[in-house]
């Protein structure tokens, strides 16, 4: 595809035009020219949008897709379409499928089904067989098939020796180990943050302590073994402090935060709306402010949508019985821009690529165009018409958001939002 992106503010610190308004010419999917103004060529499509910003393509480090096994929640093809229309050019897909993504064949299925799409799909393999937390899965075989990391989605590993062995073994092929930050024995049947709100509503609590103990344990093990550790979706001020200390020691650890935990607190649970039942749970305002400070200073490396499509039968239940999870990709940019600048937002939405795939996308002449197109101007209220997922379980319905995604250019394709 040949295209000319016009009057775009370029955000890429590796590019000499960073922060300036430019035109970008793309020929057969390759960036061929970047200049303050470019004359049109025959046969090329002009891409022009109001107050346009162009950045390197965004990477979402935690996305759930139902296929295989739960296609009623989301299919691979529609999930990739949702990602594209939400501004993401790459997604890391969790292994919570049926069967669980814990073999070479399961990883290959995902890669083959997604081939040729504008959005690149990177499978996360389960760390343990069937995500049961008992025996390590076939990590190396999955890595050979294309898995970029290994973790049991929203299932913590109770056995510390498993994490120890995983970190040691994965070093042989530079594998990234994920460990969900929750000590199961401390939560029992908890459904909301343990505190005044949960007590007032009569809901069983998930104490912040359950996260702190698990994070501290895993960091101690990492210090002992070496290796690469990623802690997904932290939610508390103390977790931020623990990870900041570990980074100061030089440990190879990164972490993410889900956009819902940055945007909401436990106070929205007062109507028992299960759209806000997420894991880790929405915490206190003190925790939320600590998370916001951490994404601004860099202690938290990346923001994820933690997009988890669930059908109505799993969410329209009593709060205790509803499943954890929200769809959030469609609202991620708009929610994040209410908290940070567009430059910071881009860093948080692109950082996952290097950590998970070992590659970084740069806006550079001679390189394939891998671009996210958006504006930071304007506000809107997120409504049902903004949901692109098959499932509709969005915590962001009615939220006041900022900016807008225009689309992506990736794999020689332009997908408009």
CB 256 within 8 A of CB 230: yes
Looking at the structure, tell me whether residues 202 and 88 fall in a common domain: yes
Return d(Cα 148, Cα 242) in angstroms, integer.
Answer: 25
The total domain count for the chain is 2
Is 217 a residue whose pLDDT tops 90?
yes
Average pLDDT over residues 205-209: 98
- Report the CATH number at residue 403: 2.30.40.10
Is 380 in a helix, a strand, or coil? Answer: strand
Q: Please check the confidence at residue 324 and state whether its pLDDT lies above 90.
A: yes
Tell me the C-alpha distance between 256 and 233, whole Å.
Answer: 5
Q: Are residues 313 and 222 in the same domain?
A: yes
> At which of 357, 382, 405 does a domain end?
357
Does residue 43 sit in the same domain as residue 173?
A: no
Which ranges of 298-403 would DSSP assign to H, the alpha helix?
A: 312-315, 329-336, 342-357
Domain's final residue, options 306, 324, 357: 357
Last residue of a domain, one of 315, 336, 357: 357
What is the pLDDT at residue 223?
Answer: 98
With a pLDDT cut of 70, the percent of the chain lying above it is 100
CA 40, CA 46: separation in Å to the nearest integer? 8
Domain that includes residue 398, residue range: 3-53+366-416
pLDDT > 90 in the chain, percent: 100
| Residue 114: pLDDT over 90 | yes
48 & 196 share domain: no
31 shares its domain with 105: no
* Residue 250: predicted pLDDT: 98
For β-strands 205-206 and 253-258, DSSP reports them as unpaired
Average pLDDT of the chain, as a whole number: 97
- Six token digits for residue 86: 């939400």
Looking at residue 19, what is its pLDDT?
97
| Whether residue 179 sits in one domain with residue 31 | no
Report the DSSP beta bridge partners of residue 255.
231
Task: Say yes or no: 346 and 285 in one domain.
Answer: yes
One domain for residues 184 and 332: yes
Q: Which pLDDT band holds residue 188 (cuts at 50, 70, 90)?
A: confident
Instruction: Check whether 314 has a pLDDT greater than 90.
Output: yes
DSSP structural state of residue 131: G
H/E element holding 302?
Answer: strand 302-304
Q: What does each C-alpha distance from 150 to 143, 234, 278, 410 come to in angstroms?
A: 9, 17, 22, 26
pLDDT digits (tens, 9 = 90+) for 274-307: 999 999 999 999 999 999 999 999 999 999 999 9
Q: For position 301, what pLDDT does the model report? A: 98
pLDDT in tens, 15-69: 999 999 999 999 999 999 999 999 999 999 999 999 999 999 999 999 999 999 9
Residue whose entry in the numeric block shows the structure tokens 């200049």: 35
Residues 241 and 118 occupy one common structural domain: yes
Distance CA 378, CA 207 (A): 38
Which of the four pLDDT bands, split at 50, 70 and 90, describes residue 251?
very high
Of the candidates 12, 306, 320, 386, the residue annotated as catalytic is: 306
Residue 253 near residue 229, CB atoms below 8 Å: yes
Q: How far is CA 242 from CA 147, 180, 237, 239, in A?
A: 28, 15, 9, 5
Give SS3 for 17. coil
Give the CATH number for residue 136.
3.20.20.140
* pLDDT confidence tier of residue 319, bands split at 50, 70 and 90: very high
Task: Report the distance separating Cα 101 and Cα 165, nearest Å.
Answer: 20
**How many angstroms separate the CA atoms of 282 and 269, rounded?**
9
Is 291 in the same domain as 372? no
Q: Is residue 361 predicted with pLDDT exceeding 90?
A: no
Q: Could you tell me the pLDDT band of residue 369, with boundaries at 50, 70 and 90?
A: very high
> 299 and 230, same structural domain?
yes
Residue ranges of alpha helices (H) inside 64-121 are: 76-85, 104-114
| Same-domain status, 210 and 286 | yes
Per the annotation, the verdict on 320 as an active-site residue is: no
């Amino acid at each position: 595809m040949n295209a000319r992106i016009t009057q775009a503010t370029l955000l890429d610190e590796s590019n000499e035009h960073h922060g300036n308004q430019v035109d970008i010419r793309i020929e057969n999917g390759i960036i061929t020219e970047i200049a303050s103004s470019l004359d049109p060529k025959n046969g090329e499509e002009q891409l022009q949008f109001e107050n346009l910003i162009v950045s390197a393509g965004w990477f979402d480090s935690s996305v759930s897709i139902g296929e295989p096994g739960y296609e009623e929640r989301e299919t691979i093809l529609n999930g990739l379409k949702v990602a594209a229309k939400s501004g993401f050019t790459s997604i890391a897909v969790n292994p919570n499928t049926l069967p669980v993504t814990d073999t070479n064949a399961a990883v290959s299925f995902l890669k083959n089904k997604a081939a040729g799409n504008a959005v690149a799909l990177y499978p996360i393999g389960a760390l343990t067989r069937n995500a049961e937390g008992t025996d390590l899965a076939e990590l190396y075989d999955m890595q050979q098939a294309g898995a970029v990391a290994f973790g049991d989605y929203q299932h913590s590993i109770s056995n510390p020796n498993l994490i120890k062995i995983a970190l040691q073994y994965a070093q042989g092929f530079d594998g990234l180990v994920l460990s969900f930050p929750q000590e199961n024995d401390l939560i029992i049947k908890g459904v909301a943050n343990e505190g005044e709100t949960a007590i007032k509503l009569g809901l069983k609590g998930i104490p912040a302590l359950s996260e702190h103990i698990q994070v501290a344990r895993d960091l101690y093990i990492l210090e002992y073994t070496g290796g690469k550790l990623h802690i997904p979706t932290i939610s508390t001020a103390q977790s931020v402090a623990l990870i900041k200390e570990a980074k100061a020691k030089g440990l190879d650890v990164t972490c993410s935060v889900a956009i819902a935990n940055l945007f909401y607190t436990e106070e929205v649970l007062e109507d028992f709306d299960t759209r806000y039942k997420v894991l880790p749970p929405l915490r206190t305002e003190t925790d939320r402010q600590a998370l916001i400070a951490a994404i601004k200073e860099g202690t938290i490396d990346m923001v994820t949508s933690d997009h988890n499509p669930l059908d109505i039968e799993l969410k329209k239940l009593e709060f205790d019985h509803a499943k954890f999870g929200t769809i959030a990709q469609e609202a991620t940019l708009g929610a994040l821009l209410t908290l940070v600048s567009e430059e910071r937002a881009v860093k948080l939405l692109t950082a996952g690529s290097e950590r998970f795939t070992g590659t970084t996308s740069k806006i550079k002449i001679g390189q394939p165009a891998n671009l996210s197109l958006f504006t930071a101007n304007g506000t809107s209220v997120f409504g049902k018409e903004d949901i692109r997922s098959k499932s509709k379980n969005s915590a962001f319905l009615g939220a006041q958001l900022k900016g807008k995604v225009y689309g992506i250019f990736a794999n020689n394709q332009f997908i408009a939002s």
